[in-house]
Structure 1
Amino acid sequence: MRSLFRLKTIVAAEDQPEHHRLARTLSWPHLVAMGVGAIVGTGILTLIGVGADRAGPAVLLSFAVAGAICACAALCYAEMATMIPASGSAYTYSYAALGEIIACVVGWSLILEYSLVVSTVAVGWSGYAVGFLKGLGVFLPDALTHGPSLEGSWANHDLHLANLGVNVPAMLIIAVVAGMLMLGTRESARVNTALVVLKIATLSLFVAVALPHFDAANLHPFAPNGFGSVADDHGVKYGVMGAAAIIFFAFYGFDAISTAAEEAKNPERDLAIGIVGSMLACTLIYVIVAAAAVGAVHYTVFSKSAEPLALILRSLGSARVATVVAAAAAIALPTVLLAFLYGQSRIFLVMARDGFLPPALAKVSARGTPARITAVTAVFVAILAGLLPLDVIASLANAGTLCAFVAVAACVLVLRRRSPEAKRPFRTPVAWVVAPAAILGCVYLFISLQVVTQVSFLIWNGVGLLVYFLYARARAVEGRTAP
């Protein structure tokens, strides 16, 4: 039993073997850009429609709830990232503070989160790219623009396959971004920064066109599905909290910054600036864009669209601007792919170093990038993106993220008690309020997810525990080096 809760000894990045060592090439502007690039993406460009479908105009409250919970989690991440400046994010913090078995669950949940986030964003990008191509008169075969879809009721156990298809554009964009990451971190960061500027300019253009059309009548009824979380016959949960459980996807991304700890030039300063700075900037952006969207047209107009912002603009008679927004989204959304595929490859890298995955995957290329694990990850997520629908992927991704956020908040509390004098370059303000708020908020959002998501998450982690006991436990580096 003691081995299940053994703690990881953190090895400084400079003390890693040369073939495992990452190059320090990122400064705080790169990290802020990575955070904004990761956070501002599918959540506001695509999932605002899904959220409005579930909450109506009260999706504004859904954004507020999800943003508040993520703000608490971000403050906890900032403390842990600067206290333990090592790659691996919540997995590494859990291994150092909570024990090996918990780190296994968190790591397995992070695999779920990052894999499905990349897949979700790729599917969202596909929707905008296909819409943009249609605006240019280029029409792709319908079966090549979406994954298989299901019909029927989950509750009545009569779900069946309705439409076959493979989302080819989603698979192709993952391949392009993976190739970019394998070329080098600094080069990827420069491209990411340029695309983030384009993305912010695009959202500013949308607000400039939509906000003058704001009509308070479009906010009625404000909360047609109530303020709680109510499931329909398909197991999908509606209401403000039901939407918040999905909208939550729109806010996270700052956790990808914590995976860059070993590549930050000054991690003790840069990580906190990157995490907190990107969260503040993105919260402001989201509030303005969401208000402009639900005020410009009635939510029923865009709630079912794969490209809601572009559809809103077309509804307002701004077809040319809609084409520009669709084009810019198609160009800029890959910043989210880049940030999360980057983060996932670093988490996989650390798990491979620790013996939880085959050690050969931890080898770093001559450019200082984990090319092997990036390629393996890209193949895996491309298959998911090609075959799964958007709302199913996003909902399941949220479950993995909620688990990681709870773990990081718990790490803050445990280390505040166990090591009160430890060096903390960034301290979470009012930690004994903020961290419990993050934990309780994440647990409530998990309860608000649809049942199929909760069951799938438990099954996924059950498989992860089997992998741990049958493979990883005996190969864990901490176990081999323990006295």
Structure 2
Amino acid sequence: MDLLRTKSIEQSIADTDEPEYQLKKSLTALDLTVFGVGVVIGAGIFTLTGRVAHTMTGPAIILSFILAAVCCALAAMCYAEFSSTVPVSGSAYTFSYAALGEFFAWVIGWDLILEMFLAASVVAQGWSAYFGVLLENFGIVIPEQVAYGGVIDLPAVVLICILGFLIAFGIKESMRVNMVLVAIKLFIVLFVIFAGLQFVNPANYTPFVPAPQATETVTGWTQPLLQALGGGAPMAFGWGGVVAGAALVFFAYIGFDVVATTAEETKNPARDLPIGIIATLVICTILYGAVALVVTGMVPYQDLDPSAALANAFVAHGQGWMATLISAGAVAGLTTVVLTLMVGATRVIFAMSRDNLLPMSLAKVHPKHRTPSRITVIVTVICALVAGLTPVGMLEEMVNIGTLSAFVLVSVGIPVLRIRRPDLKRAFKVPFSPVLPILSALICLYLMLNLSVETWLRFLVWMAIGLAIYFLWSGHHSRLQTGKALHPDLEKTLRENH
């Protein structure tokens, strides 16, 4: 079993023409940008802004957002180069298969499954909390046993089931719903910016970078791994707090990589995927920075509500109806995040199943809608169970470590693939390679080291399960290992004409 054997780009592209496993090409650059903005602008802008400004950065949180955006931009460029060169479902999994080999592809695919399953479930629970608050504003109270934090989180389960039906019905139909919800979310975000300007007090920006202070050192399993390894105690505020804040708000940008999972359903992936990925990042950075400036200008950072800063900033100025409107926007906004993450999860599993690293029977698409309906059912059921029955609370960091590990491998894969396949046509190229891709990998690794010890332990357990599956079944049955590649004649033709 050759662990480092790669799957050729031509073979990956040829696989997409197999009728039983062929997805419908219907997405444009606009669809992809809306898709990306839909998943990136979510819990981060509604909750993370206030928490980080209150505890870590003060008004300088905008600098943290910019610094995190620069880090994400490096990874985004790597994704853009890969996705325009390898327009196949699977995102980082497919890229790693081409550049680093099957074993690393399995590892990253397994990481992405962890990321997207847990992320969809966690965000669905957050949606349930906002939904409950919104209903209470209209005098409707969900029974405690079936509400957020109850025995079963029924609203979260219902949301995931409805979205699962939409995804199974068709990717274009899902995007139409997503576009409407993203429009509502963007309206709310712009409303916060422009309505909040009238309540901004310039005095609240002083000091812009509060004096640094040591925070209470976290010990044991919950301390950051870097601290456990002797990296020193964490600091809040000051320039150290700005950098630490960037490590936190970085996760508000997570999701732009999901755009790459739809490569196979894009009409012109070489042009549209780089546009979709980079436009998503630019739009979200501008909106995050504007919201951060307005909210910290409306309320002194010491008085910001860490859990619902946007809504409560307006409550502090006696604008209760505005707070209700913002809560409604949060409900719409988080809906798009769950939808996009579920789409991403189905496409990663689809790509792995088509390669027979997971049972190939899962990858067959619906004859009419051309969507992976079997996988969609599985994703929907698992996400609904996790969101409805599990106190996810401490598992959010698992999402982050799965994402960052994917970023590391994608970044490393860029210079590797350029060496292995310099002949490939690349519609988009990362500038200053290999310097920028290596810098991207190092930054992502640094952020991983800032996650807690217990997160790393859970991650290692998840990886151990994945490795057991690979060595006991997947590695022996994959199409690459057994030689059962799709369309060998087509692969030969593509290679000759490339």
Q: Same fold (TM over 0.5)?
A: yes
One-letter amino acid of the structure 2 residue matched with residue 180 of structure 1: L
Deviates most, 207-216 or 133-142: 207-216
Alignment partner of 2:181 out of 195, 209, 229: 195
Contact 2:16 2:264 in 1 (8 A): no
- Shift of the 442–227 alpha-carbon distance from structure 1 to 2, 3 Å rule, reads farther
Deviation at 1:68, TM superposition (A): 1.5
Instruction: Give the C-alpha shift of residue 105 in structure 1.
Output: 0.9
Alpha-carbon distance, 1:14 to partner: 7.1
| Post-superposition offset of 1:244 | 3.5
Matched, 1:359 2:346: no
CA change 1:421–1:359 in 2 (3 A) is: closer
Name which of structure 1's ranges 416-425 and 399-408 shifts more when overlaid on structure 2. Answer: 416-425
Look up the equivalent residue of 2:265 and give its one-letter code.
E
Q: Give the alignment partner of residue 211 of structure 1, picking from 169, 174, 197.
A: 197
Relative to 1, partners in 2 of residues 1:113 and 1:225: Cα closer, same or farther, differing over 3 Å? farther
Are 1:337 and 2:372 an aligned pair? Answer: no
The verdict on how the C-alpha distance between 1:91 and 1:263 changes in structure 2, with shifts beyond 3 A counting, is same
What is residue 464 of structure 2 aligned with on the other side? 462
**In the superposition, relative to structure 1, how do residues 14 and 235 fare at CA in structure 2: closer, same or farther (>3 Å)?**
closer
- Corresponding residue for residue 423 of structure 1: 425
Counterparts of 2:49 and 2:68 in 1: how far apart (Å)?
13
Distance in 2 separating the partners of 1:300 and 1:146:
28
Structure 2 residue 300 is the aligned partner of structure 1 residue 298? yes
Note the alpha carbon deviations across 1:374-414, whole angstroms, 9 max, x for none: 11111212222234556523311010000000111111111
Quote how far apart the aligned CAs of 1:482 are.
7.0
Equivalent of 2:76 in 66, 74, 77: 74
Structure 2 residue 172 is the aligned partner of structure 1 residue 172: no
Show CA shifts across 1:119-172 (max 9, x none).
22212212211111111111223443334xxxxxxxxxxxxxxxx643222222
Q: Residues 225 and 254 from structure 1, CA distance in 2 versus in 1: closer, same or farther, beyond 3 angstroms?
A: same
Identify the residue that residue 257 of structure 2 maps to in structure 1.
Answer: 255
Determine the structure 1 residue equivalent to 2:268. Answer: 266
Report the counterpart of residue 316 of structure 1 in structure 2.
Answer: 317
Q: Which AA in structure 1 matches 2:480? A: E
Partners of 1:138 and 1:178 in 2: CA distance: 26
212-221 or 19-28, larger mean C-alpha shift: 212-221
Judge which range, 214-223 or 35-44, deviates more: 214-223
- 2:218 corresponds, among 231, 234, 243, to 231
Query: What count of residue pairs does the alignment treat as equivalent?
Result: 465
The alpha carbon displacement at 1:436 in A equals: 1.5
Structure 2 CA distance for aligned equivalents of residues 227 and 209 of structure 1: 35
Match of 1:39 in 2: 40
The Cα offsets for residues 154-213 of structure 1, whole Å up to 9 and x where unpaired, read as xxxxxxxxxx64322222211111111111111111121122111111001111222333
Q: State whether residues 33 and 277 of structure 2, in contact with CA within 8 Å, keep that contact through their aligned partners in structure 1.
A: yes
Per the alignment, residue 473 of structure 1 pairs with 475
Q: RMSD between aligned alpha carbons?
A: 2.4
CA gap of 1:233–1:463, structure 2 versus 1, over 3 A, is: closer
Larger CA deviation: 291-300 vs 181-190: 291-300
Closer, same or farther: CA 351–39 of 1 in aligned 2, 3 Å: same
Per the normalisation by structure 2, the TM-score is 0.87
Question: Take 1:229 and 1:415, find their aligned partners in 2: how far apart are those partners?
Answer: 45
Closer, same or farther: CA 113–54 of 1 in aligned 2, 3 Å: farther
Q: Compared with structure 1, are the counterparts of its residues 186 and 139 closer, same or farther at alpha carbon in structure 2 (3 Å cutoff)?
A: same
Structure 1 unaligned residues grouped into runs of 5+: 148-163
Equivalent-residue separation in structure 2 for 1:384 and 1:308 (angstroms)? 27
Structure 1 counterpart SS, 2:160:
helix
Structure 1 residues 176, 287: CA separation in 2 closer, same or farther (over 3 Å shift)? same
- Report the alpha carbon displacement of residue 234 of structure 1 after superposing the two structures with TM: 7.1
* More deviation, 456-465/119-128: 119-128
Query: Do the aligned partners of residues 146 and 243 (structure 1) sit closer, same or farther apart at CA in structure 2, a change above 3 Å counting?
Result: farther
Deviation digits for residues 268-297 of structure 1 (CA, Å, limit 9, x no counterpart): 111111111111111111111122222222
Question: Would the alpha carbon gap of residues 145 and 469 (structure 1) be closer, same or farther in structure 2, given more than 3 Å must change?
Answer: same
Structure 1 vs Structure 2: percent identity of aligned residues? 37
Secondary structure of 1:411's counterpart equals helix
Distance 1:226 1:440, change over 3 A: farther
- Report the residue type matching 1:44 in the other structure: I
Question: After superposition, what is the alpha-carbon deviation per residue over 1:430-466, rounded to whole angstroms, capped at 9, x for unaligned?
Answer: 2223212211110111011122112211221111111
CA distance in 2, matches of 1:223, 1:449: 24
Report the equivalent of 1:128. 130
Which residue of structure 2 lines up, in the alignment, with residue 161 of structure 1? none
Is the Cα contact below 8 Å between 2:259 and 2:277 reproduced in 1?
Answer: yes
In the superposition, the TM-score normalised over structure 1's length comes to 0.90
Rounded to whole Å, the distance in 1 between the matches of 2:129 and 2:304 is 14
Alignment match, 1:8 = 7
Structure with larger Rg: 2
CA offsets per residue over residues 315-342 of structure 1, 9 Å max, x none?
A: 2211101111111221232111121111
Partners of 2:49 and 2:223 lie apart in 1 by 16
Asked if 1 retains the 8 angstrom alpha-carbon contact of 2:41 and 2:333, the reply is no
CA distance in 2, matches of 1:259, 1:108: 14
The counterpart of 1:286, out of the listed 277, 285, 288, is 288
The question of whether the paired residues in 2 share the 8 Å contact of 1:353 and 1:359 is answered with yes
1:38 is displaced (CA, Å) by 1.2
Once the two structures are overlaid, the 10-residue window that deviates more, 382-391 or 338-347, is 382-391
Return 5+ residue gaps in structure 2 as ranges.
Answer: 225-233, 486-498
Q: Which residue of 1 aligns with 2:347?
A: 346
Bigger shift: residues 288-297 or 36-45: 288-297
| Partner-residue secondary structure (3-state), 1:424 | coil
* Contact 2:305–2:312, Cα closer than 8 Å, also in 1: no
Whole-angstrom CA distance in 2 between matches of 1:461 and 1:229: 32
Q: Which amino acid aligns with 2:19?
A: E
Where do residues 377-416 of structure 1 align in structure 2 (5 Å cutoff)? 377-388=379-390, 392-416=394-418
